[in-house]
């Protein structure tokens, strides 16, 4: 019955990219179709089922006020290889819910809908917001290397999946976590659901437009042939140091950081 309700609630507004909330039947990127509890939910959220070339690739909870994602959720399907070189994309439906369900470049949006750069900037962070940063990178929450098909890799290059991330961290220990440590923990896993998030910080870039997170975190829930297995990581966004911990320990750390009560990241069966 619950699943049926979820299904119906998603169909309600049509198969739009901005969905009424998670979970959502055509956005199957959470273990047991269960998103984190609402202790992570910001005041002005947008639930995005990230769509590119007519297909859904991952889910993002976006904070419209801070102009950064709260988290991105995806199925871990790593594939080594070069990262795609593509222009950064934006979420059209943050501007107007009647716009394209597929992510698009700023240029295409301006051309297609005759919207100004200023109108686009009101709704979300744009490439320019990240252009003059010296010690901060465009940090992926869902990294392209954790996706195995070309379009899913490209789909991670949307700014609603990006936060200003300490450059040393992004290119240092966080990258090592993404590429090496994840792969080690994932041995024997058949199916792994991942949620990567950012804790809002006290500073902003781009003249106050885009929040700089205080922490970046990641949590994984995997099914092996015999049991469930979980692990997690967290890093302060001002130093190049990743701490590995259990999902329970991560949840206990996140509660006081988000200040909206106890955090639950996965369905209890995980």
Residue count at the site for ligand NAG (CB under 6 A)? 5
Element (H, E) at 132: none
Which residues make beta-bridge pairs with 72?
A: 60, 196
116: contact with ligand NAG by CB under 6 A? no
Name which of 5 and 132 has its Cβ closer to ligand NAG. 132
Whether the bond into 23 is cis, omega within 30 of 0: yes
* Least distance CB 58 / ligand NAG (angstroms): 26
Alpha helix (H) residue ranges in the chain: 2-12, 92-95, 106-113, 117-123, 150-155, 167-171, 173-176, 182-185, 247-258
Element (H, E) at 82: none
Name which of 82 and 131 has its Cβ closer to ligand NAG. 131
132: contact with ligand NAG by CB under 6 A? yes
Q: What angle do CA 132, 49, 110 make, to 5 degrees?
A: 50
Scanning the structure block, which residue is given the tokens 């090592």? Answer: 176
SS (H, E, C) 198-244: EECCCEEECCCCEEECCEEEEEEEEECCCCEEEEEEEEECCCCCEEE
Name which of 98 and 187 has its Cβ closer to ligand NAG. 98
98: contact with ligand NAG by CB under 6 A? yes
Among the listed ranges 28-36, 128-136, 184-192, 249-257, the one in contact with ligand NAG (CB under 6 A) is 128-136
* Least distance CB 110 / ligand NAG (angstroms): 14
Count helices and strands in the chain by DSSP H and E runs: 9, 14
Tokens of 163: 């936060």
Name which of 120 and 154 has its Cβ closer to ligand NAG. 120
* Least distance CB 119 / ligand NAG (angstroms): 9
> Residues 107, 111, 128, 239: which binds ligand NAG (CB under 6 A)?
128
Among the listed ranges 61-69, 100-108, 126-134, 172-180, the one in contact with ligand NAG (CB under 6 A) is 126-134
Name which of 91 and 251 has its Cβ closer to ligand NAG. 91
Q: What is the dihedral of CA 66, 70, 76, 80, to 10 degrees?
A: 20
Among the listed ranges 53-61, 124-132, 142-150, 258-266, the one in contact with ligand NAG (CB under 6 A) is 124-132
Per-residue x/- marks for ligand NAG, 181-220, CB under 6 A?
Answer: ----------------------------------------
* Least distance CB 139 / ligand NAG (angstroms): 18
* Least distance CB 61 / ligand NAG (angstroms): 22
37 exposure class (CB count in 10 Å sphere: 0-12, 13-18, 19+)? middle
Scanning the structure block, which residue is given the tokens 């009424």? Answer: 20
State the residues that interact with ligand NAG by CB under 6 A.
96, 98, 128, 131-132
């Amino acid at each position: 019955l619950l699943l049926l309700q979820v299904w119906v609630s998603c169909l309600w507004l049509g198969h739009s990219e901005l969905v009424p909330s998670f979970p959502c039947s055509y956005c199957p990127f959470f273990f047991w179709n269960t998103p984190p509890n609402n202790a992570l939910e910001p005041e002005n959220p947008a639930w995005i089922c990230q769509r590119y070339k007519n297909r859904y690739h991952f889910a993002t909870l976006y904070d419209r006020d801070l102009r950064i994602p709260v988290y991105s959720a995806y199925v871990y399907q790593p594939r080594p290889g070069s990262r795609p070189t593509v222009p950064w994309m934006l979420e059209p439906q943050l501007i107007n819910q009647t716009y394209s369900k597929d992510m698009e470049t700023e240029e295409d949006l301006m051309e297609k809908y005759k919207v100004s750069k200023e109108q686009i900037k009101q709704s979300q962070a744009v490439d320019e917001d990240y252009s003059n940063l010296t010690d901060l990178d465009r940090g992926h929450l869902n990294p392209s290397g954790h996706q195995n098909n070309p379009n899913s890799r490209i789909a991670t290059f949307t700014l609603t999946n990006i936060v200003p991330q300490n450059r040393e961290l992004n290119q240092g220990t966080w990258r090592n976590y993404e590429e090496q440590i994840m792969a080690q923990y994932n041995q024997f896993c058949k199916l792994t659901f991942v949620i990567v998030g950012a804790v809002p910080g006290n500073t902003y870039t781009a003249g106050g437009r885009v929040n700089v997170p205080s922490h970046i975190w990641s949590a994984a829930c995997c099914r092996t042939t015999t049991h469930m297995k979980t692990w997690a990581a967290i890093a302060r966004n001002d130093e190049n140091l990743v701490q590995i911990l259990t999902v329970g320990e991560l949840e206990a750390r996140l509660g006081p950081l988000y200040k909206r009560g106890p955090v639950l990241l996965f369905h209890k069966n995980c």
